[in-house]
Structure formats: C-alpha cells, structure tokens
Amino acid sequence: MRPLLSLLLLFPLFPLPVLPLPTANQLLALADAAPILTSSPYPLPPSLDPWYRAPDAVAWQPTPPGTVLKVRAAPFLNRTIGNALTAYQILYRTTDSQHDPSWAVTTLLVPVWQARCSTTATHLCAHAVLSYQIPYDTCNVDASPSYGLNVVGEPYGEIRDALGLGWFVSVPDYEGPLASYAAGLQAGHATLDSVRAVMQVAGVFGLRMDVAKVALWGYSGGALASEWAAELAGQYAPKLVIAGVALGGLTPNVTSVTDYINGGECAGLIPAGLLGIASQHPEAYWWILSRLKPATAAKFLSVRYMTAAQSIAAFWGENIYDYFVGGWADLRAARVMKMMYNVDGYMGYHGVPRMPVFVYKAVNDELSKVDDTDALVDRFCKVGANILYHRNTAGGHNEELVNGRQRAFAWLSSVLDGSYDEVYSTMGCTVVNVTYNIAPYVPWLNL
C-alpha cells in the first residue's frame, strides 16, 4: 500500500479548520493603515479590480448576511462629492435572488461636520444614516456606483446635500457582482445588508449608535431597490430598525414597464433589464439568448457594456420585441420567463413595509404607469401600512426627480430627527394629488 493511502486510512479526511474572518474594526484599521498606491483619481473598474472579489468561499459563505468582509479607504471621493470628510468602500456578505450567499459593495461617506465629534462633544456627533440607492439601471458591473462616484461624481447632488445635513450616507451597489438590474430580491437583500454592514463600522467614526436612526431613499431604479428592501425587511432582517423609506418614481411591475416604454425614448432600458434580471435566473438567461435573432443578437447583447444613458441612446425608439424570433411571446409566454418575473419582477408580494413610507410620483410618468403605483399603495394600505403618497399632476418621470426632492428631504429629516409623529400621520395612509412644478424639462440623455 502506498504510504499516502495508508495515512489516509489511518487518518480519515476531515475538513480543515476555517480561520475566523477579521472583525469589521480590524478591517477598518487595516484599510486606514494601507498606503494609497496610485496617484490616479481613477481606480480600476470592478471587472478588473481584484478587490471586487469575495474572500475564500469556505470562510465567508456561512457568515450572517451583512457581515463585513473587506474594507478599503476611498480618498478620491473627496474630490467628486461635496461635504464628505472621509469615504470607505465596504464589501459585505448578502443573499442573491436564489437565496444563495453572495456579496456586494457599498460606499460609506462620513459628513464633514463629523470632524467636530469627540468623546467630550458627543452632542456634535451624527445620529443618522441615509442609505441612498442610486438609479444606475444597467447590467454592466463597471457602471456600479462605487466606481462611478469616483470617476464622474454623483449624478444629482443629493449625496452632497444629505452629508450637508450631517447624515452618514451609504450608497450600495445593490445590483451585486452580476449587475442584476431589475432583480428585486437581489436588490432588496443587498440594500438591507449594506445597512447592516455600515452599522458595524459607523460607530468607529463617532455615529451616535445609542440613538442612531436609519432611512432609505431611492428614485426610479433606486426606488426599486428601496421598495423591495422595505417589503423584505420584516422576514429577511427582522432586527434591523429602519425609521422610514422614501420612494420616488416607483416601477412596481417590470412587465408593465416593458410594454409601456417599448418603442419609445426609454426602450434601451429593456435589454439592460432583461439581461440584468435574468442574470439571477440561468434558465431564463439561456432562453433569452436562444431566442435572439442572429442578425441583431450582437447589438442586443452589446448593452452588457453600456451605462444606462448609452443603452437609451443605442436603442432609442426601437421595438425591442423585434429582436426575438417569437417577438413579445418569447419574453412573456415562456414558463421560465414567467417564473423569473414572479420571483423578481413584481412588488407587493413579499411582505408589507413595517416602517413609515413616503411615495411620490408624477401622474404623467412616462416610464411606469401611475396606475401600477396606485395599486401597490392601495394593496399595502389595506393591510395596515403607514404611507404618505403624493401624486404630482405636474411633469413626468425625470421632472419628478427634481420636483419631489425637497419634499423627500423634509420627510426624511422628520423620520431621522424623531419629529415624524409631530408633522405627519402615523396611522394609515394619506393619498393626495399635489402640483409641484419647479423642474425644467429634462431629456433622458441628460440624466
């Protein structure tokens, strides 16, 4: 008998012991100690950056969702985002749409005024965290916020303004490592777990953990992630306390949105959305590939390397169903597609928000029918949710991003500073038509 075989018989194979992962504080200390090795303000994109990889699966997969796995300083964000004192990127454990372990990245920004915080001046320390979900609307992982914030800065100035109010701001790459645009479960899980990860390290920067409140805010694609997080929180993160969720320009039904925008100026969001959501459903993904017409398949698949603005420009006004052999039926009638949509595409079926919710939407929204949002709000209201819903009679989808901004900030401020019950109704739902028209017309390509 060979010596190795005899040893194996004498000592049966047992799994090697798994070394414990570093704590969040240890990872943060290592990040602060690590030198900045480049003078370039532009880091590597996620697809090429070794940091955007989870540690050894044996070590991290069994950890609880929200576990901090990696931390690194992001010093260049001070150049692109106003009111930021320091910034860090946090890679954390989350759960994908198949309920398997996965990971994602969030960017944590500390407000400038936190420099006044000390153990002897705790009244000057921040007491709020805003999880701000950017609508990045792409199946290209290199267009994730953690990279884009470094390269082009923030799109709307809302991170700067939130930091100016003294809030910590967390900006998650909620689409995850596969850029799973429009996949609701993936986005909701990643958003909730980004908050859990941030709360593991925020105390080191002086956040008043004893009184700290957390709120979520997102518009359009960012509202998709925020709404799914609100739905899932009760079952997925029952111990995580969220003070409130602000949702603008909601898109409650992905198939309804697809039909609504097909052939119009936003048709380019459809290829990105199909490939994004299908990245969580391999059978549906391969079905989509198999049904593409060979002559135009390359153009359809080119969206994998585009930003949202690029995909909108590339497919402007096109009938996306024409890219498929069976047209509309290929995307709607196939069993694998129906299963995918049922899991990841429809809001309102995975739980009821337990926290106050502010919903604002343009009645004339050209991306998603207001009727779909009306139905979602009504569904939640009938089972006891606390919702303030503003239906704006002015503007469309892009204009409401601006028209609703100050109302969203005012509402978020109330839930984060504890004055909510003094200003808003804490029971049931309030649905009102409003008219706020402060935004100029905003073309899609200028978003």
Alpha-carbon distance 213 to 208, whole Å?
A: 9
The one catalytic residue among 142, 365, 368, 372: 365
Residue of 353, 343, 361 lying closest to 182 (CA atoms): 343
For the four alpha carbons of 119, 415, 237 and 373, in that order, the dihedral sign comes to: negative
Question: Is residue 96 among the annotated active site residues?
Answer: no
The catalytic position among 170, 281, 397, 414 is 397
d(CA 205, CA 110): 8
123 classed as catalytic: no
- Note if 220 is an active site residue: yes
User: Which residue in 220, 279, 311, 414 is the catalytic one?
Assistant: 220
Cα separation, 160 vs 83, in Å, equals 6
The residues that are catalytic are 220, 365, 397
